[in-house]
């Protein structure tokens, strides 16, 4: 089976799977199962007719109407599975910039705090503990700073490193990979210093925490380079299936 034939089979599968409202993992399993089934049908037809294009046409006919299959697939999706699609929005989507991904995370965090904060303040007021409001608001800010320092690099760096290590020939660059590795050395020290300073405004204590975190700095490049392979494979998979033109 050549690449063109495989792509044609994938288009048939994607017509059935893409409209399904389900998590990415579930849709991936659907694609794998249907593609394996359709490929088996194709191989049977090739043996019969001896022509790949004719075999694709006959396999498509035997596969059935993709729109009907979409409905059948949708019925197999549990309700709870759709909830996970919200969290998948924090994964990099095909065509999305890393800056947009980071901004999406920060804005979501801010929106979450804006929704929860009034309830927390009201709770303190009802209990007669208004004096704790400034401390509570400052604690929220500390959590926001800490979570941003942790999750934004964890979201962005693996994709950056993955592109320069495993991307196409124009994207690959060992020099950029080395620079990203050096930049990631600041991950743990920056996280420790930023969190401590936001919590205490004590520069001396924050510098102590920074020095301690420097001991763990070499672990950050290892972490990001390990994550890079999975991040790149996941994005390449999404881009491959998203690029299929299913309208005909």
The mean pLDDT value of the chain amounts to 84
Q: What is the pLDDT of residue 160?
A: 86
Is residue 6 pLDDT above 70, yes or no?
yes
Question: Which of 158-162, 165-169, 181-185 comes out lowest in average pLDDT?
Answer: 165-169
Q: Which pLDDT belongs to residue 248?
A: 59
Residue 243 has pLDDT above 80, yes or no: yes
With 0-12 / 13-18 / 19 or more C-beta atoms within 10 angstroms meaning exposed / middle / buried, residue 6 is middle
Domain range annotation of the chain: 3-87, 96-241
Mean pLDDT is highest, among 81-90, 129-138, 167-176, 209-218, for 209-218
Contacts with 66 (C-beta within 8 Å, 6 or more apart), sequence order:
12, 15, 16
The confidence score (pLDDT) of residue 200 equals: 76
pTM of this structure: 0.70
| Half-sphere exposure (Cβ direction) of 65: Cα atoms closer than 13 Å | 4
Distance CA 163, CA 239 (A): 13
- For range 148-166, the mean pLDDT: 83
Residue with tokens 């359709």: 38
pLDDT at 87 over 70: no
pLDDT > 70: percent of the chain: 96
Q: Is the predicted pLDDT of residue 208 greater than 80, yes or no?
A: yes
Task: List the structure tokens of 165.
Answer: 């290590």
CA 161-162-163 angle, 5° bins? 90
Instruction: With cut-offs at 50, 70 and 90, classify the pLDDT of residue 89.
Output: low
Cβ neighbours for 148, distance < 8 A, ≥ 6 positions apart: 105, 106, 109
pLDDT digits (tens, 9 = 90+) for 114-126: 787 788 778 878 7
Residue 33 pLDDT exceeds 90: yes
**Which pLDDT score is estimated for 103?**
81
Of 199 and 10, the one with more pLDDT: 10
Residue 35's pLDDT band (cuts 50, 70, 90)? very high
CB–CB of 8/22 below 8 Å? Answer: no
DSSP 47-66: HHH--HHHHHHHHHHHH--H
pLDDT at 94 (0 to 100) = 73
Read off the pLDDT band of 147 (50, 70, 90): confident
**Closest by CA position to 69, among listed 38, 107, 111:** 38
89 compared with 170, residue with greater pLDDT: 170
């Amino acid at each position: 089976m050549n690449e063109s034939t495989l792509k044609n089979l994938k288009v048939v599968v994607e017509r059935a799977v893409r409209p399904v409202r389900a998590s990415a993992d579930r849709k991936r399993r659907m694609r794998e199962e249907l593609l394996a089934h359709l490929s088996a049908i194709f191989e049977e037809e090739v043996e019969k007719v001896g022509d790949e294009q004719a075999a694709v046409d006959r396999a498509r006919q035997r596969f059935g109407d993709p729109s009907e299959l979409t409905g059948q697939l949708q019925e197999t999706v549990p309700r709870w599975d759709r909830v996970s699609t919200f969290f998948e929005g924090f994964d990099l989507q095909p065509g999305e910039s890393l800056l947009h991904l980071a901004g999406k995370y920060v804005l979501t965090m801010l929106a979450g705090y804006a929704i929860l904060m009034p309830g927390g303040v009201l709770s303190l007021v009802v209990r007669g503990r208004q004096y704790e409001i400034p401390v509570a608001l400052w604690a929220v800010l500390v959590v926001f700073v800490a979570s941003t320092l942790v999750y934004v690099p964890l979201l962005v760096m693996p994709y950056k490193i993955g592109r320069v290590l495993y991307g196409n020939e124009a994207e690959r660059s060992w020099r950029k990979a080395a620079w990203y590795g050096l930049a990631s050395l600041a991950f743990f020290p920056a996280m420790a210093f930023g969190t401590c300073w936001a919590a205490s405004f004590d520069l001396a204590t924050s510098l102590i925490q920074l020095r301690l975190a420097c001991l763990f700095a070499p672990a950050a490049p290892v972490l990001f380079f390990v994550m890079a392979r999975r991040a790149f494979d996941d994005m390449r998979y999404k881009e491959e299936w998203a690029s299929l033109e299913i309208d005909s």
